[in-house]
Structure 1
């Protein structure tokens, strides 16, 4: 019986895991693959936009499809799905995830203010990691660790990859700007038909996809035989409509995507199924022999026949991989298995069928206008539904890239590589949905400039392809280092990885470089500008920290002042923010010299980033003492990962008091364990002594009902502190006590109702537990009493 029950439970657990995997795979389709799924709109158009037009026959078309097929197989499927997705940083992905893995498992870090205690974080090293260096690996590691230029080059390479992703945030909406107008023009065209307007106006509306060079060739197959006159709708009017749509897209960013995100997955899935159906239809109707192009022989023949022209056309084929990096960058929102299932089960076969179908159509349509190849391959009866789906898919793809840009900027700012910008969380339930007003408006301005300046999706496509190739090369180089230093698979395996993927990606990158005069200069210029800003900011951050370290106050001078610090100590807690994790900042000597009084309790607070995506709440605070106990001076180092969200001031203040109280207990317990010996201390570089930093990580337990605190407190504090919610029994008692007028009381009631955090802050009280039977050490009791009194007096 027990055996059958165990089997049943295992079966239910397996079914539950499978169901969860399918749900995550379904959701990932809308978030991860929005950009990749819209690539069929412009791959063949961009590939045949140059000198390859003179080779537009069946053999060449089959060769192009063979390159597209093997590119999708080698890079997205083999490299990303099978290998790169396994290099997660505690479930997170992206360029910074690879970099953080490297700086933790090897001393490549240039970030200042790092401590040995950071390596004690539970998420710092990979589970089961032990340093096992071979002689070759050890020499390689020592070379990178000792030479600062090599570490600087590694950081610049990471920043360059991040800047290319930010560039995608400009190029993707600009690339999709004209498809986004489709929904508006669809409604307009229906109204024009209802009003019996000439068909020539409807034709002009669809010339926006990519204005062909004069003389204007035939347009959509549904209107074959008709010509579009340039005076019906000028290119300037099309650009104006594109700018209006882009303005609406960026203006609505502050609302977030949580209200419409549930539509992303079905839109992309229906769009992909539609692509697959159209591809199968074109294969069956136009040229079933296109199946032969799956052989790499056609790839070889293509380059033998086209030569240099074929190599340059790789810049267009490269667009079939745009959005591939999102599989790894969005790993934190899903799981590696769910992303793999979605790609292998839906994305990959649908895209292959669509590209194959377009190739079959092109092989039998040598006179087809390449500017409209996708829409001309669509059967006439379903043209309008496909048009609407293409518009919705373009919107989803653009939104995903814009959101990824916000995330990259936040990570760069957390690691001290980007100026601090305002971050707004647009969803209470979904952690990763953020919005930055400053970055949003900068993206809008640059995107409008690109749309107005280029006016052609072919030029924008050239720029887009170069950005995509650059990110892939950076990922390949970082991934090879991860294989060596994190996975410890040896230099040989990492070299094989480089030999398998780097030549292919380098060929695409060089082909994109050849198109620098035709738009490829744009991502290069944007990336260099962003890298310059990032590196200058990071360099300034390091120099400022070095200045603070060289000019910090000696603890010997502080001890000479005595417990009063030579000034009057008034009730209250003073928080002094500093970038230093050790030592006393130089500004403190200015306070002591120029202020007549200072707070009874002083806490030096340092908020710093560590190279991990998230720091657990139990490991976030490092608490220590500055000087002897009677000085009432403490240090609190608040550590956060590059994807963490810092709590507000109110939570921090109350949590800090409890952490300090717990530290006092821990310190007293250690002294008792050491038979009354002095507490452990650490010596600074200037020879002064400072109390040991400790992680206060006691378990968290909810407080009594009625305390409206967002974070509960420690169960162990019940031995020393009782936190009570001093809620008034009725307003009459409060009115008699305060003596305030009815008008003022009503205004206060309204304010507290609208600002619950303020009301809760006033009502929280800390009291010493007097029911401990006298077991508490008198010195500890006195220190806790001083801490409680200071908190009630106020925090500044």
Structure 2
């Protein structure tokens, strides 16, 4: 790897991989005669930028937790993940047979479709396959996108650095076979700008659709459950049901701030009781009414159903797909729990209960075809009606948790990857990672849910909208998964073809059906997606433009040295931290600052904030620091790397961590340089000469090292100042109308109304100085 101050050229050398398994200290001790120029390079900033971490001490992933914790999380996940899919029996048959049952065997055809859909999509696709594509324990659309970005250079921001791949949880475990096909696809993706934009566009679309699910899930679940009270009293009007549902929804969103951990413990027992009820009642109805519905295991009833009903059967798929609503939460919420805990709770509790529930309802409908509009509540034994009704309402309240918590997770991911405006991320559990709450998003989701409930007022129209959001996300997940199978897992081509033919065909068939109801409410999730994608696109596009502007106008180290050594400059005591998003140099706003304020602090650190396409970066591997020559200037560059699931400043202030890492760097920097000098000087001598040389210079080295660290400590005592660039962006004079609207109005509106850098990093206002500069993009 060749390193310069302005750019980095990386050459892949297979023979270097074994050398990089050892730390620089180990390599230098093992080979005392190696000269400094031949030492391996680790870092695009410089060899002194950090001490290479020992991978043996890397953070253990959640996959390695004990069985007691796994079972504990499996129980907790029942209350968070399965509320949505668990309440689907409230409305699936009513939505499927919206025009009534034409033939008694149609019930068997629909039951067969539900059974095989539940088996293929939630169980086979998600539990057995998609959950394996988690990114160090985190799931969701952005996790899949990040895996692809990590393996192929398809990111649109040129901030990649060679040392990123040495973060302990960055590397992917790759099999060696089928390499040619994977390399060919990787090469095509990296060389195609269209492919890069398309992947980002698809990721934004999937994210927007999941957020749309978070709006529609509470509406349909609560309306369906509350509507059941009409079976007990005719005094309850549709208008009263709508307003009761709105009150329940507002209460639900108000308790989100207590966090997934507390909410999960409250909800898990209720959902367990719910599953016991629907499974038990389903088994009772199966035995009492028609045990012969077990014939639905034969897929010939599906064929007969389509032959009899033709187009109507195809349209009814939009109702059947509601049986798997919330399935994406299995993957989106895996970061709150573990893969194993989700697999256990799905296979042992959720799947059996749902199969019994739908089978029992089918047996009931074989004898009571005229009651299909209220299948769930009509099939409940009279003695259990009120207990089941109460639990149904509670389960419907809980149902929204799956998609709301999933929404929080994916917004956190998209925020970290520069695809969403800044919002406040609150870490709600000290015990479990990944459990977060976003106040602004929670408030907006609540307003959207209330609006949809008051506007649509019926589960039928909401169901039409819901199906589109569900199937769109599933189809996008499958598309990303195929790329991962080819490039990363290097799966056998026959298995990939089988997946596409079976799972892909089923999902496309469902997608075609739900799109048919576009004008009957199906436009709603697409309208949500357009609005959200517009926000995400505006933010991401201008974010990239700003980055390229700073890259083109960055200050070279030579220019910096010339500026700070001018006779007109004065040095003031203290440590200044200058924030920037630019990784490859010193931002142009610094030149603007020194031209107007001809003074510099005794220690200056340029901090670049960078997101890596991985879930979490261990704290000990987060800071990359290098010295800007000349040494006596006490000017440093620091790249601070975060994963998209990292929650910043939860344990200790950013400032404290940075100063500690800076002092560690100074000590390591001096150790490296002295070790290299000793190796060079003694390259032709014996081991005794090397040891003697080390002992002779020990006191001198310690004195110099201590004096440099004292400079930093003295600067800290004098005061730490945070310099933040306030980059006003405007469209250039030659820009067209579209670019002017994008930058001058849309982006600047978002920027003025959202959080600023000092709020994200908890910077004290009394020690903060904003430096303004206008970028013409």
Superposed pair shares fold, TM > 0.5: yes
Which residue of 2 is the match for residue 250 of structure 1? 253
Shift of 1:238: 3.0
Which residue of 1 is the match for residue 206 of structure 2? 161
How many corresponding residue pairs? Answer: 641
Which residue of 1 is the match for residue 718 of structure 2? 793
Which residue of 2 is the match for residue 531 of structure 1? 533
Correspondence for 1:152 among 189, 197, 220: 197
Which residue of 2 is the match for residue 307 of structure 1? 310
Q: Deviations over 1:322-346 (max 9, x none)?
A: 1111112222233323222222222
Q: Deviations over 1:271-303 (max 9, x none)?
A: 111111101111111111111112111111111
| Relative contact order, higher structure (CA 8 A, sep 6+) | 2
1:297 aligns with 2:300: yes
Which residue of 2 is the match for residue 381 of structure 1? 383
| Cα distance in 2, alignment partners of residues 567 and 650 from structure 1 | 35
CA contact (8 A) 1:426 1:433 kept: yes
1:285 aligns with 2:288: yes
Correspondence for 1:120 among 166, 172, 187: 166
CA contact (8 A) 2:95 2:319 kept: yes
CA contact (8 A) 1:418 1:538 kept: yes
- 2:607 aligned counterpart, secondary structure: strand
Shift of 1:551: 1.0
CA contact (8 A) 2:464 2:517 kept: yes
1:321 aligns with 2:370: no
Shift of 1:71: 0.7
| Cα distance in 2, alignment partners of residues 649 and 350 from structure 1 | 41
Q: Deviations over 1:545-579 (max 9, x none)?
A: 00011111122222223546741111100010011
CA contact (8 A) 1:111 1:415 kept: no
Which residue of 2 is the match for residue 60 of structure 1? 106
CA contact (8 A) 1:47 1:313 kept: yes
Correspondence for 2:546 among 544, 558, 562: 544
| Cα distance in 1, alignment partners of residues 157 and 591 from structure 2 | 27
Correspondence for 2:149 among 86, 100, 103: 103
Q: Deviations over 1:406-441 (max 9, x none)?
A: 222111111100000122233333433322222122
Correspondence for 1:431 among 427, 430, 433: 433
Correspondence for 1:644 among 639, 643, 646: 646
1:623–1:279 distance in 2 versus 1, CA, 3 Å: same
- 1:348 aligned counterpart, secondary structure: helix
Correspondence for 1:24 among 73, 86, 91: 73
CA contact (8 A) 1:43 1:320 kept: yes
Shift of 1:464: 1.0
| Structure-to-structure mapping, 1:767-778, within 5 angstroms | 774-778=699-703
| Cα distance in 2, alignment partners of residues 116 and 669 from structure 1 | 23
CA contact (8 A) 1:112 1:542 kept: no
- Please provide the CA RMSD for this pair: 2.2
Shift of 1:460: 0.5
Which residue of 2 is the match for residue 461 of structure 1? 463
CA contact (8 A) 1:671 1:677 kept: no
1:206 aligns with 2:251: no
| Cα distance in 1, alignment partners of residues 124 and 651 from structure 2 | 47
Unaligned runs of 5+ in 2: 1-64, 681-696, 722-777
CA contact (8 A) 1:31 1:264 kept: yes
Shift of 1:180: 6.2
Q: Deviations over 1:32-63 (max 9, x none)?
A: 212111110110011011x4x251x3211111
Shift of 1:162: 0.9
Which residue of 1 is the match for residue 477 of structure 2? 475
CA contact (8 A) 2:321 2:510 kept: yes
| Cα distance in 1, alignment partners of residues 547 and 112 from structure 2 | 54
CA contact (8 A) 2:90 2:224 kept: no
CA contact (8 A) 2:568 2:598 kept: no
Shift of 1:137: 3.6
CA contact (8 A) 1:180 1:245 kept: no
1:585 aligns with 2:587: yes
**Larger deviation: 116-125 or 238-247?**
238-247
Correspondence for 1:347 among 330, 350, 366: 350
CA contact (8 A) 2:83 2:398 kept: yes
1:91 aligns with 2:137: yes
Q: Deviations over 1:189-244 (max 9, x none)?
A: xxxxxxxxxxxxxxxx824xxxxxxxxxxxx3x67xxxx4xxx5543333233222
| Cα distance in 2, alignment partners of residues 132 and 667 from structure 1 | 41
Which residue of 1 is the match for residue 520 of structure 2? 518
- 2:699 aligned counterpart, secondary structure: coil
CA contact (8 A) 2:182 2:490 kept: no
| Structure-to-structure mapping, 1:493-508, within 5 angstroms | 493-508=495-510
| Cα distance in 2, alignment partners of residues 559 and 649 from structure 1 | 36
1:343–1:508 distance in 2 versus 1, CA, 3 Å: same
CA contact (8 A) 1:113 1:545 kept: no
1:137–1:491 distance in 2 versus 1, CA, 3 Å: farther
Which residue of 2 is the match for residue 675 of structure 1? 677
| Cα distance in 2, alignment partners of residues 296 and 472 from structure 1 | 23
- 1:635 aligned counterpart, secondary structure: strand
Correspondence for 1:441 among 433, 440, 443: 443
| Cα distance in 2, alignment partners of residues 90 and 435 from structure 1 | 21
- 2:127 aligned counterpart, secondary structure: helix
CA contact (8 A) 1:480 1:494 kept: yes
- 2:626 aligned counterpart, secondary structure: strand
Shift of 1:773: 8.3
- 1:577 aligned counterpart, secondary structure: strand
Q: TM-score, normalized by length of structure 1?
A: 0.77
1:124–1:132 distance in 2 versus 1, CA, 3 Å: farther
Rg comparison, structure with higher value? 1
| Cα distance in 1, alignment partners of residues 236 and 390 from structure 2 | 21
- 1:154 aligned counterpart, secondary structure: helix
| Cα distance in 1, alignment partners of residues 426 and 187 from structure 2 | 42
Q: Deviations over 1:682-712 (max 9, x none)?
A: xxxxxxxxxxxxxxxxxxxxxxxxxxxxxxx
| Cα distance in 2, alignment partners of residues 131 and 552 from structure 1 | 41
CA contact (8 A) 1:179 1:390 kept: no
Q: Deviations over 1:107-127 (max 9, x none)?
A: 222234221211111111223
Shift of 1:28: 2.2
Shift of 1:672: 1.7
Shift of 1:133: 6.1
Q: TM-score, normalized by length of structure 2?
A: 0.79
| Cα distance in 1, alignment partners of residues 176 and 236 from structure 2 | 66
CA contact (8 A) 1:286 1:364 kept: yes
Correspondence for 1:628 among 620, 627, 630: 630
| Cα distance in 2, alignment partners of residues 675 and 776 from structure 1 | 12
| Cα distance in 2, alignment partners of residues 162 and 458 from structure 1 | 25
1:148–1:358 distance in 2 versus 1, CA, 3 Å: same
Which residue of 2 is the match for residue 46 of structure 1? 95
Which residue of 2 is the match for residue 395 of structure 1? 397
| Cα distance in 2, alignment partners of residues 544 and 133 from structure 1 | 40
| Structure-to-structure mapping, 1:328-343, within 5 angstroms | 328-343=331-346
| Cα distance in 2, alignment partners of residues 167 and 430 from structure 1 | 27
CA contact (8 A) 2:326 2:402 kept: no
- 1:602 aligned counterpart, secondary structure: strand
Which residue of 1 is the match for residue 84 of structure 2? 35
Q: Deviations over 1:434-492 (max 9, x none)?
A: 22222122112211221111111111011111111111101111111111111112444
